[in-house]
Amino acid sequence: MRLFGKAGLRNPRDIAKERLKLMLIQDRIQVSPGFMEELREALLSSLGKYLDVDREGTELSLEVGENRGKLVASVPIKSVKRRVEHD
């Protein structure tokens, strides 16, 4: 299940089904959509210190097992930065 990024062309029924799955997963692990967006931005900000990444091509997904969830990230890397950026 994709939360962010390019999902390709799909019909409205598939989109609605995916959104429902997302809502159920978020309810199960008690994570709001706003939290997921904040997490995405924090992750990309941290990675941005070391890597030049494709923010638009980034995809995050949640997978839920019986007792816990798992965050899966696909972050396209454009290049590795030679110097680490410090805040």
Provide the pLDDT for residue 15: 81
How is the chain split into domains, by residue range? 12-80
Provide the pLDDT for residue 26: 66
Provide the pLDDT for residue 8: 56
Provide the pLDDT for residue 85: 72
Q: What is the pLDDT of residues 60-87, one digit of tens each?
A: 887 776 666 788 899 999 999 988 777 6
Q: What are phi and psi of 60, to 5 degrees?
A: -120, 145
Q: What is the pLDDT of residues 10-66, one digit of tens each?
A: 688 888 887 787 777 667 777 777 888 898 899 999 999 999 999 988 888 877 766
C-alpha–C-alpha distance, residues 72 and 74, integer Å: 7
Helices (H), 4-85: 12-29, 33-48
